[in-house]
Structure 1
């Protein structure tokens, strides 16, 4: 594969700048710092490729020192982009370490005059930054809800390429006639494919995460932080179907704050919102991890307990009621909670019927004076 100098420069710089412009545009639309760091990496990499073309003009120390310095800083910015994506802060020393090491080594005459040593050190530093990027994804894989595997594979392939180059490439980038040497042609090709691939997979991860966040926000009550009615209906239907298939018990708690309108009218909506948030927190703290809790109305909450019987539900409901009564509200005794309980077996594991039975039990609790727990009991025929 023979490419002249002009073609290499045009192809390399044009593609890097084009992809960087696309990343900058994506960053301005969403202000995601991952895309900002990646755009900066591509811009710096294109500048490094441009400075590298000054070789042979009588001051080769400029491309030797500064071209490689920019390329290493570009690799450090790409690593930082992935580090930011997984939620870790940028490391200033980590971004500067590769370039500072390169500058320090270039001050040594033996290093500066040895082409093979420069290629080995520069390639290993490039491989190190790629491995660090892969490590950021791998150590955070359990927290990532997006498909990180294409990015991980790309970073490892990029690192492997530069490890191979560190031990096989010993030629100048260009021969005396301005033609690129065979291995340098592979370097240019790999750089272009890597830049395009990294931009694509990073954009894909950022977009997938944004979609998940929007979906999560649509299924979460913004005031209390627990699920909303839409989230509960979908998840509860599936949970009840599983319980029916496995013949496991399930119990529903339907909670309603007593005299809530009076609190809003007397002390303002801020006090009412705080009461709702406090009760939602109690519900989350006292329920198990696999239970379903949600706010389904203004002051109505539900909690579906899978694998629990009526006795366990009554015990939990009483703990919730007592803990809520102990909170320091604006006016002592102005607010309480009534809870109705119904068993899924009585509703034939149908969510609508189960909600109706729990509502009947809740009505009984209200009629008996509020601030109490009632279990639905079918009247004998």
Structure 2
């Protein structure tokens, strides 16, 4: 690729920003929500249907793909974009979060992490250099540096040790990534809930230099109030002219609050996972399609939604196919949830561009407070 990765802001409203990330495989409108395609698929969705919701970029998972079908096999088959039939940008995480969650199956050192596969027990090693190699073989457009996601709660001493090692790994990730025009490497800020550690992490990342920056180590059990407390200062420590990505977030009100605090990119399994379990996101809040109140209801899930579930099917039908464990239930409810998330991002972008984010946010919360429509 010859075109370089670029980011241009087009409007601000308070700390909120809207803009465009330019990549050789297409533009990403920010604030952006990235549907999660863990194993080279957004579960229950075809790639063209994911694109139809308005998604500009997907997320793939390094840990799962390195184990099955392996990065080497994907590379031999033409790379991840060809393999999963998605010709637009893909971001891959470093694998660090999944490895760190395998507390009983891994051993960590300064070099990296050795772990046993949750699939067959085989042994593997993941280092900053190996993570960069895997993500290069996958061909992802945005690569995340290898880090340790600090668990919560953690003492100041535990958090400091973890953050400083992640910064050393970030430096090694940058060196291993090299110069790859058209591709981007994002650094990840750590420091748990300690402001001085977040500042130290941001300073070290800026010294190394990255095409984008993530706020890591949040949405790991600390709760929304504490997460927002950190986001009141953490994004401002990162370069203003680069994308800011809040990893693993989240619920709709998490996203709205984070956008108000200067975040540009998000990912979360919630809309697709919830679709498979009957949890539905609407403008009036969350509903559970398996509840008996929907079994005779001819109305759509959300009268303002343009997804196929809302345009062509009733709540009664969706209740029926979910209770009957029909595959179409996961397909339709996942499509709806992803559409809701993309509509939310579109609304946020438009409100920031118009300088009217406060009104949008007030309407968002007021409508959700109404709750679902009364049963017939």
Give the TM-score range, shorter chain. under 0.3
Higher helix proportion (structure 1 or 2): 1
Q: TM-score, length-normalised on structure 1?
A: 0.22
Q: TM-score, length-normalised on structure 2?
A: 0.22
Higher CA-based Rg: 1
Higher strand proportion (structure 1 or 2): 2
